[in-house]
């Protein structure tokens, strides 16, 4: 008798089902959209996680004020920067996805975090699909993460992982990496979308039902998305990216999504021989190599989540040989730079139409908030006019199309950080200055238009 198949292929674009894989969906004619999925049989738990349903206890509706919370819902990893990115520690039973380029330090970070968590009444389990237990131990020796409560296993089979996890009952589980895990229920190869999705879904189910916090490590594709793309992001509670330049020792852990905290938080680390160490004052780090009294360099206090970080914006404006001048930027949105360059040209009569603009945020950080606009304008103007800006001044403000400087949020804590690092003057939006109560230790200058900035630059 022919064996009955439990899987089929489903087009991710239109939902068409087929019993065999095809390169092109016959219904919607899109390419490469068929993904292997388990067939859902009536009367059976969809995910078939050893027969248990979601949740276990507390399945019937209950009044919200009577929902029981455990004493310490968050557990600290002992790594402050990591805890901050998670919103103050790991939430029990949460699922975290951490992505990053190969070799950036994901395994190192998680091994260190697990070691910090491990204790008498907190067993933790690290599962590697890439390295043998001996290799893990070698790394652990180097990192001095040899807690007797840290368990390790080299395994690729999802079923074995689920079984062992349920036996060991760890508080935290790390899967390194999801692309190497496979379930025998699907025929496709490990790393394929079908496998990645099915494995993650079942790990997430286990995590929720047994209150085991799970961290899934995912490799990033060339396009920069975690492989098995968006499908994983909505399955998990928190998505973190570990980024950095392998040529630099600095690494940034960034929250992309967080159900239990702010989603813009960053943690800064430094990679050295003993693994990753926290960088307690990132502002100092990002400004450490700043050259003084040169044109085109401006410091802005940017909010990264709940924390202000001072970054240096560098601009270089030079004569172009091209018909359409270049607007190149690293660390800030280049559309924003083009827009601000146009405003600058129009409002301040600084000719830029025949000049290339290169913009860089020093130290490899990315800044996204509009409050850095004024800093960009000042940096570009400074380089275009070849006039240096006072090195003890910071710029804060959003710039509109008519050259007006708009209000920003959280001025006080930005000023506090700037003052802490020895800055003396701050250019801030006029509206923010009016609303300020209490004196600042800095000289605060309110500006309502970028015209006011030119008087400072020149």
Residues that bind ligand TYD (CB under 6 A): 100, 102-108, 139, 142-143, 271, 273-275
Report the C-alpha gap between 394 and 259 in whole angstroms: 34
Query: Which of the choices Mg ion, ligand TYD, none does residue 271 contact, using the CB cut-off of 5 to 8 A by kind?
Result: ligand TYD
Q: Which does 3 bind (CB under 5 to 8 A by kind): ligand TYD, Mg ion, none?
A: none
Distance of CA 251 to the CA centre of its chain: 11
Q: Specify the residue, 269 or 395, whose C-beta has the smaller distance to Mg ion.
A: 269
Query: From the CB of 107, what's the least distance to ligand TYD, in Å?
Result: 3
Nearer to ligand TYD, 274 or 412 (CB): 274
- Shortest distance, CB of residue 269 to ligand TYD, whole angstroms? 11
Indicate the residue whose CB is closest to Mg ion: 107
Q: Which helix (H) or strand (E) holds 369?
A: none
* Alpha-carbon span 36 to 6, nearest angstrom: 10
Q: How far is the CB of 276 from Mg ion (least distance, A)?
A: 13
Task: Please state at what angle helix 106-117 crosses helix 133-143, rounded to 10 degrees.
Answer: 70
Q: What are phi and psi of 244, to 5 degrees?
A: 155, 170
Q: What's the CA gap between 321 and 356, in Å, rounded?
A: 9
- Unique residue bearing structure tokens 């007006």: 404
Q: How near is the Cβ of 113 to ligand TYD at its closest, in Å? A: 12
Between 174 and 300, name the residue whose CB sits nearer to Mg ion: 174
CB atoms near residue 120 (< 10 Å):
7
Give min distance, CB of 130 to ligand TYD, in A.
Answer: 8
Nearer to Mg ion, 46 or 142 (CB): 142
Q: 144 or 306: whose CB is closer to ligand TYD?
A: 144
Left, alpha or beta for 329 (phi > 0: left; psi -120 to 50: alpha)?
A: beta
Please answer whether residues 89 and 78 qualify as being in contact, where contact means their C-beta atoms are separated by less than 8 angstroms. Answer: no
In angstroms, what is the minimal distance from the CB of 125 to Mg ion?
16
Nearer to ligand TYD, 89 or 218 (CB): 218
Whether residue 214 contacts residue 181, with contact meaning beta carbons closer than 8 Å, is answered with: no
Residue 296 partner contact from Mg ion, ligand TYD, none using kind-dependent CB cut-offs of 5 to 8 Å: none
Provide the 8-state DSSP code for 402.
T
Q: What is the residue whose two structure tokens read 């380089």? A: 383
15 binds, among ligand TYD, Mg ion, none (CB under 5 to 8 A by kind): none
107 binds Mg ion (CB under 5 A): yes
Considering CB distances under 5 to 8 angstroms, the limit depending on partner class, which of Mg ion, ligand TYD, none binds residue 137? none
| The total number of residues written for the chain in this structure | 458
Distance in Å, CB of 104 to ligand TYD, minimum: 4
- In whole angstroms, how far apart are CA 267 and each of 279, 304, 333? 8, 9, 21
Nearer to Mg ion, 182 or 423 (CB): 182
Q: Judged by CB under 5 A, which stretch of 81-89, 101-109, 117-125, 283-291 contacts Mg ion?
A: 101-109
> Are the C-beta atoms of residues 243 and 252 closer than 8 Å to each other?
yes
For Mg ion, the binding residues (CB under 5 A) are 107
């Amino acid at each position: 008798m022919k064996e009955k198949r439990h899987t089929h292929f489903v087009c991710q674009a239109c939902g068409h089902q087929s019993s065999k894989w095809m390169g092109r969906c016959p219904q919607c004619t899109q390419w490469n959209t068929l993904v292997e999925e388990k067939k859902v049989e009536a009367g059976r738990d969809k995910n078939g996680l050893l027969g248990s349903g979601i949740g276990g206890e507390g399945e019937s509706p209950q009044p919200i004020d009577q929902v029981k919370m455990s004493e310490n819902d968050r557990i600290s990893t002992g790594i402050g920067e990591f805890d901050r990115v998670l919103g103050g520690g790991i939430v029990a039973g949460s699922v975290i996805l951490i992505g990053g380029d190969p070799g950036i330090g994901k395994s190192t970070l998680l091994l260190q975090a697990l070691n910090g968590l491990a204790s008498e009444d907190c067993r933790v389990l690290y599962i590697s699909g890439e390295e043998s237990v001996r290799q893990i131990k070698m790394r652990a020796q180097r990192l001095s993460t040899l807690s007797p409560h840290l368990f390790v296993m080299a395994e690729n089979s999802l079923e074995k992982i689920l079984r062992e996890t349920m036996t060991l009952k760890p508080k935290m589980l790390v899967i390194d990496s999801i692309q190497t895990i496979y379930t025998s229920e699907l025929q496709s190869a490990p790393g394929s979308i079908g496998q990645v999705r099915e494995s993650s879904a079942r790990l997430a189910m286990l995590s929720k039902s047994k209150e085991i916090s799970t961290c899934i490590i995912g490799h990033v594709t060339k396009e920069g998305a975690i492989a098995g793309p968006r499908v994983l992001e909505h399955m998990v509670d928190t998505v973190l990216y570990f980024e950095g330049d392998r040529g630099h020792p600095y690494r940034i852990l960034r929250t992309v999504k967080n159900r239990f905290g702010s989603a813009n938080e960053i943690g800064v680390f430094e990679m050295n021989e003993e693994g990753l160490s926290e960088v307690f004052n990132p502002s100092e780090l990002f400004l450490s190599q700043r050259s003084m009294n040169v044109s085109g360099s401006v410091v802005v206090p940017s909010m990264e989540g709940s924390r202000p970080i001072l970054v240096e914006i560098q601009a270089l404006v030079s004569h172009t040989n091209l018909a359409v001048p270049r607007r190149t930027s690293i660390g800030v949105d280049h559309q924003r730079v083009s827009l601000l360059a146009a405003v600058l040209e129009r409002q301040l009569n600084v000719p830029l139409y025949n000049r290339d603009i290169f913009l860089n945020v020093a130290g490899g950080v990315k800044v996204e908030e509009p409050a850095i606009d004024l800093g960009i304008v000042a940096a570009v103007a400074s380089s275009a006019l070849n006039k240096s800006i006072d090195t003890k001044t910071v710029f804060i403000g959003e710039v509109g199309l008519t050259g007006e400087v708009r209000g920003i949020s959280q001025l006080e804590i930005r000023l506090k950080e700037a003052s802490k690092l020895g800055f003396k003057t701050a250019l801030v939006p006029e509206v923010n200055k009016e609303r300020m109560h209490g004196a600042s230790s800095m000289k605060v200058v309110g500006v309502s238009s970028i015209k006011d900035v030119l008087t400072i630059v020149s």
